[in-house]
Structure 1
Amino acid sequence: MNLSSEDVAHYLRTHPEFFEDFAEMVAEIQFPDPHGGRAIPISERQIAALREKNGVLQEKLAELIRFGEENDAIAEKMHRLAVSLLKFHRLSDLLHGLNYNLRESFAVPHTVLRLWNMPSHDPVLQELTPTSTDIHILAESLLHPYCGSHILDEIRTWFGEDGPRLRSFAMVALRTQQTIGLLVMGSEDPQRFYPEMGTVYLMRLSELVSASLGHQGDDDEIRSQSV
């Protein structure tokens, strides 16, 4: 009867006593060294396999530690941004502080923002420039952050002379009780914002900026009532 390799493997798995009954023979079996041409005992081969497996596990652990450290660093930056935005009582100061933090803390080279349905005593702000219906429809439909290379031509013009050089973008809608704006970040690096990237912190950024802008509206209403 001819036995296949699978038959032998199945037999050994279902008859572990074989290794006890023929322990001396098993110890004499030689295997090719995976790192050389010489033959080595099965015990040495098992040790080599365990070392290889340990090396893979060590690499995975190092990768998890690195991801954890990166997430901690981003979380710390988000915390500092939140503390910073809480200090501003004027819309113009808040917008300046947001742009500064995104550029300096998060290394986002280009940021633009457009707002609507927002009360303000500073109507000359570029961020309050009227936008088209297409922009409003886009913001309303943007339930999750967008990352990729495609944006509306109107949005690209917001970046001025830098617009033609930008290759990747991240967009988040800004909402309080209603949609009030669109925050867009751009980069010359095509891989800075890519479709498969995680968007947890972009969503938190959207919520943080939206809440800060909502408080600005409350502050403006309080100031108008006190005049």
Structure 2
Amino acid sequence: MNSSAIPPITEDDIAQYLANTPEFFERHAQLLTSVVLTSQHGQRAVSLQERQAEMLREKIKGLEQHIMELVRNGGENAAIADKVQQWARRMLAVREAADLVQAVQDGLQSLFDVPKVALRLWNVAPAWEQAPWTQGVSEDVRSFATSLTMPFCGPNLGFEAIGWLPQSAQVRSVALLPMRSGAMDDADAPAFGLLVLASDDAARFDSTMGTDFLTRMAELASAALARLR
């Protein structure tokens, strides 16, 4: 038989053999102490057992950091959820429909520290057609709001709605939330308003940020503001 036809043994072959044959190290226990490796914490030589212990410690350290991150995120989410509940209670407590728009905006600024907030509604009941918060809304803005089935978060791209904000030229990042009946992602339901959250900080509303809470907030505000239609 031609030995050249036999493929050479590779490192992967050896690794697979050792993984599938754990009793190898039982039969050759001396290898655990006699094999010398370079420590990942310097150039000193360590045994295979010591190197394995180092790897386990690093893995445990990584898991601890991941757990701490999960705990921190869980705490932040709980705090945001509590603020959303407070905001919802405030909107439900509004007796006069005429005060709803201000309540929505004030709650966002006081509870969530949003620097700049603007809200416009359209297709409202006749009693509110001349209200300040119905003015300055073009057909383009209405179409844009209806096209949104999730919050837009990102840099100020010169949206027309930014002009509703005070000192709009300084705005660097925005979150745009459509107001519509039912779920935000219901593309069949036309928007009846647009809520603008903005900041002069370019990192405040980043395109990579999660939007779950913003979606819930938009749907809560939409439900509250439906009284004005």
TM-score tier, shorter chain, comes to 0.7 to 0.9
- Matching of residue 195 in structure 1 with residue 210 in structure 2: no
The runs of 5 or more residues in structure 1 that have no matched partner are 218-227
Structure 1 residue 102 displacement after superposition: 0.8
The answer on whether the counterparts of 1:117 and 1:180 sit within 8 Å (CA) in structure 2 is yes
Shift in CA distance, 87/151, structure 1 to aligned 2, threshold 3 Å: farther
Shift in CA distance, 181/46, structure 1 to aligned 2, threshold 3 Å: same
Q: 1:34 aligns with which of 31, 40, 46?
A: 40
The answer on whether the counterparts of 1:149 and 1:167 sit within 8 Å (CA) in structure 2 is yes
What SS class does the counterpart of residue 149 from structure 2 fall into?
coil
TM-score by length of 2: 0.85
What SS class does the counterpart of residue 42 from structure 2 fall into?
coil
Shift in CA distance, 76/112, structure 1 to aligned 2, threshold 3 Å: same
Structure 1 residue 121 displacement after superposition: 4.1
Deviations 1:191-221 (A, max 9, x none): 211222211111111111111111344xxxx
Number of aligned residue pairs: give it: 216
The answer on whether the counterparts of 1:92 and 1:125 sit within 8 Å (CA) in structure 2 is no
What SS class does the counterpart of residue 179 from structure 1 fall into?
coil
Query: 1:60 matched to which residue of 2?
Result: 66
Find the aligned partners of 2:51 and 2:44 in 1 and give their Cα distance.
12
Identity %: 36
Higher alpha-carbon deviation: 18-27 or 104-113:
18-27
The runs of 5 or more residues in structure 2 that have no matched partner are 182-188
Higher alpha-carbon deviation: 107-116 or 85-94:
85-94
Higher alpha-carbon deviation: 120-129 or 142-151:
120-129
- Matching of residue 168 in structure 1 with residue 173 in structure 2: yes
TM-score by length of 1: 0.86
Higher alpha-carbon deviation: 51-60 or 124-133:
124-133
Structure 1 residue 25 displacement after superposition: 3.3
Find the aligned partners of 1:206 and 1:174 in 2 and give their Cα distance.
6
